[in-house]
Structures are given as C-alpha cells and as structure tokens.
Amino acid sequence: MLKLRINKPFDLENTITCGQIFRFKKNNDDSYTVILSDRVINVFMDKEYLCVTSNNEEDLENVIINYFDLNNDYDKIIDELVKNDKKISNAAMFSKGLKFIKQEPFETLIEYIISANNGVNNIGNSLNLIAQKYGKKVIFENKEYYLFPNAKDLKDVSLEDFRNCKVGFRDKYLKEVIYKINNNEFNLDLLYELDDNEALKVLMEINGIGPKVASCILLFAYQKYKVFPVDTWVKKIMKSDYNIEGEENIRSYAKKTYGNYSGIAIQYLFNYSRNNKE
DNA sequence: TGCCAGGCCTTCC
DNA sequence: GGAAGGCATGGC
C-alpha cells in the first residue's frame, strides 16, 4: 500500500464527489474506488496520510500526485484570490482542500458532451455502460472493472449502440466527434498548444459542444485555469453576494478580479453555491 | 405527474 | 442575432 504524507489541505471526499469526475464508488469503509485512465485505485485518508492501493502499482506515487494535483500550492492561489476579493473567502474556505483532478482529455471530452442537460447519476451510468462494452477489463480486489475506451476502441460504435448506453439524443454528437478524431479532423493534443480563446473556438466547432462544455473540458483536462463555466449556480451566487447579473457581466468581473485563476475561483463559488444550501 | 439535471441545436422571426 | 421549442433518460 502506498502511504503519502499530506502536509497541505486536502479534502479527498469533496475532491472526488464535487462533480468533476463520475466513475467512482464510495465504499462501506468510507474509502473510494476510482477508475483512472490506466488503472483502478482504492483511496482513503488515515490521519495525515493518503493511502492508496491499485491493480497496477507501477509508478503509483507519481500517478497519484499528478492525478490529485497534490504538489500545486492552492493556499497561495487562495491568498491571491482573497487579496483581490475579500468576499470570496467564505467560498474559498468552504472549498479548502478541493483539488482539481487532472483528467484524461478524451474521456473528459465524452464525459462533458454527455453531461449536457443531464444528471450526475445518468452521466456516470452512461460512462460505465460505454466502458463495460468497449473498454479493457481489469481485475482489482477480485472484482471486475473496465477502463474507459479510447477513440479507436469506439470507432465502429453505432448510434443505436450509443443509445443502448443511455446517452439519449447525444448519440450523434459522440459518433461525430469520434469519427473526426479517428480521421484526423480533430486533434485533442492540439488544444495544449492553443491559447484559451482559440481552444474554446476549436472545441465549439464540434456539434454538441457549447461554451459550458468546452470550458469544463479545458479546465478539467487541460488545466487552463483562466477558463470558467458560468452556470445557474454561479449566476445565483453572483447575484446574491455580488449583485452582478448576466453572463457577460459575470465574465468581465471574474476576468478582472480573479485573472489567471478565474477557473479556480468560479469552481469555489460553484461548489459553495451548490452545496451550502442555507 | 411534472419538473429538472452543471446545454445545445434548430427553427423562426 | 435573439427568442422559443425540442431533445432522451432517470430521479424526485
């Protein structure tokens, strides 16, 4: 078992359950089983130690540090944010220890296309069905798990096949984007090179990807922290706490106030707004 | 039953 | 270019 001493704030539960990832399970012993791109892990906190087991122990420490972004100094980021906006400190303290999980780009792309007008339960269910049918099986603790397939694995999946995975009307979006990737009409690696606005533009040329989905992909898979989604929860808290209404006004305020860390600030506000109900 | 879920596309002015 | 309606599915 890998034991990592954590000396900065780290909220494992909030990080896993706050809606950035969908393929995880909470176990009876309060540990979490999470399916990463290349392995399955079981994680829990034991005092100041993060404890991890996996079906694949190779380079596990680096994989975990990278996945949970453990070396990034969020305290410093929060200090910066609070310096420019005292009012965000409640939301930042509420989300203290929340890390941005570094997700695999292709899976993230599919995840957030499916997320449009959908519930968290349905999203996870569909992703698991896709993985079960087309992903690689791995055994961990005597149970079967399925890694998420890549674009090649999904090359011949039909609209009807996707419908059977309960993705509903998003079937055609998935088929189209997978076709484009396999025929070199769209390259996920290119997004690393582009600046934020170009990357957003390229993503939004794909059917099924609008500003919200594109922002989530760039934030969660590419660590483009300047990019941020504005949804109903963000609108709600910006109105009540900042007296700012309208998406454009929210965008210009966030850019001006939070700068390079707008995505992180907005995620804190989102998390606070959504989970701190009265 | 009806509404909503971290939207987006198409159609119609 | 902006508003309105439609869209699969499941949870409440």
Strand C nucleotides in reach of protein CB atoms, 7 A cut-off: 7-11
Q: What is the pLDDT of residue A200?
A: 97
Nucleotide with the nearest C1' to A119 CA: B5
Show pLDDT as tens, one digit a residue, over chain A (278 residues): 999 999 999 999 999 998 899 999 999 999 999 999 999 999 999 999 999 999 999 999 999 999 999 999 999 999 999 999 999 999 999 999 999 999 999 999 999 999 999 998 999 999 999 999 999 999 999 999 999 999 999 999 999 999 999 999 999 999 999 999 999 999 999 999 999 999 999 999 999 999 999 999 999 999 999 999 988 788 888 888 998 888 888 999 999 999 999 999 999 998 988 887 54
Nucleotide with the nearest C1' to A203 CA: B8
* Closest alpha carbon to A232 in A247, A220, A243: A247
For the entire predicted model, the pTM comes to: 0.96
The C-alpha atoms of residue A238 and residue A253 are separated, in whole angstroms, by 10
**Angstrom distance, A114 CA to B6 C1':** 11
Q: What is the pLDDT of residue A247?
A: 84
Q: What is the pLDDT of residue A228?
A: 94
Q: What is the pLDDT of residue A194?
A: 97
**Angstrom distance, A259 CA to C1 C1':** 30
* Closest alpha carbon to A100 in A121, A72, A127, A63: A72
What is the sign, positive or negative, of the torsion defined by CA atoms of A188, A194, A197, A201?
negative
Q: What is the pLDDT of residue A278?
A: 45
SS (H, E, C) chain A: CEEEECCCCCCHHHHHHCCCCCCEEECCCCCEEEECCCCEEEEEEECCEEEEEECCCCCHHHHHHHHCCCCCCHHHHHHHHHHHCHHHHHHHHHCCCCCCCCCCHHHHHHHHHHHCCCCHHHHHHHHHHHHHHHCCEEEECCEEEECCCCCCCCCCCCHHHHHHCCCHHHHHHHHHHHHHHHCCCCCCCHHHHCCHHHHHHHHHCCCCCCHHHHHHHHHHHHCCCCCCCCCHHHHHHHHHHHCCCCHHHHHHHHHHHHHHHHHHHHHHHHHHHHHCCC
Nearest protein residue to nucleotide C8 (CA to C1' distance) is A168
Nearest protein residue to nucleotide C7 (CA to C1' distance) is A169
Nucleotide with the nearest C1' to A169 CA: C8
**Angstrom distance, A217 CA to B6 C1':** 12
Nucleotide with the nearest C1' to A229 CA: B6
